Amino acid sequence: MQVRARELLEQSLQIRQKLRADTSVGIADMVFTLLQLGNICKKISTTEFHFRNTKKSKDASKQAEEYYKKAIKLSEENLGEHELTSSCHKHLGDLFLSIKEFKKAEKEYTIAKEMRENLGLYANERHVFLLNNLGQCLTTNKQTAEAIEILESARDMAEKLVENDERNVCKTRVYASLAIAYDSIENNIDAVNYAKKALKFEEAIFQNVLEKLRKIESNNVQTK
């Protein structure tokens, strides 16, 4: 099903390339199609990895990267600093994050973040998710102080977007990332505090992260 979807999108892309009008709308349509192709290839990569088809998974991941880079190039050359260009960098960052190439992911997320902020596109859930992913990369790359600064900014935005006691996916994931960041520098009080906040909405947390949070919570540290 996923392979067939990719084939149909590739056919659609070929048609768009032949009929493309050199307008901002036509360019945007091409970029969206490239992003969709990148996304379906990323899904194929995940599926093949699940079935332990390592080579097919890597091939699909490489194909996804190529489509995302084509989308970035087309958007940058024709739209410049634009919300869609930022989204292209974010998608490529998500791919690198999924295959654990954290330095490359950090670079793409940083470009996307700076572009969105230059355009005034912040204080919304999309920006919070971007900051959260960037914070995760920074934590993994041992840049914990910078990670916590980014994640606390994301937390402040998320808490302004919803009531403090309201269950919310982006807020929960930021709490989870903060718990892991503080745990990495052995700040057990804050780590446990944020782990407990995140665990109030377990269904919003990925399984591998959930296991880390439960381990952090089991530290039995007295929180404020």
Dig out the tokens for 80 from the structure. 């410049």
The pTM of the full predicted model, rounded to 2 decimals, is 0.92
Q: What is the pLDDT along the chain (224 residues), one digit of tens a residue?
A: 888 888 888 887 777 776 666 788 888 999 999 999 999 999 999 999 999 999 999 999 999 999 999 999 999 999 999 999 999 999 999 999 999 999 999 999 999 999 999 999 998 999 999 999 999 999 999 999 999 999 999 999 999 999 878 899 999 999 999 999 999 999 999 999 999 999 999 999 999 999 999 999 997 544 44
For residue range 39-54, list pLDDT tens digits in order: 999 999 999 999 999 9
Dig out the tokens for 146 from the structure. 């910078």
Distance CA 45, CA 133 (A): 20
Q: Find the length of the chain.
A: 224
Dig out the tokens for 94 from the structure. 């998500």
DSSP state, residue 20: -
Please say whether the beta carbons of 172 and 210 come within 8 A: no
Start-to-end CA span in the chain (Å): 51
Please say whether the beta carbons of 156 and 110 come within 8 A: no
Dig out the tokens for 188 from the structure. 């057990």
Domains of the chain with CATH codes: 1-121 (1.25.40.10), 144-224 (no CATH)
Helices marked H in the chain: 2-19, 24-50, 54-79, 83-98, 102-118, 125-140, 144-161, 169-184, 188-198, 207-217
CA atoms within 13 A on the CB side of 171: 18
Distance CA 23, CA 115 (A): 22
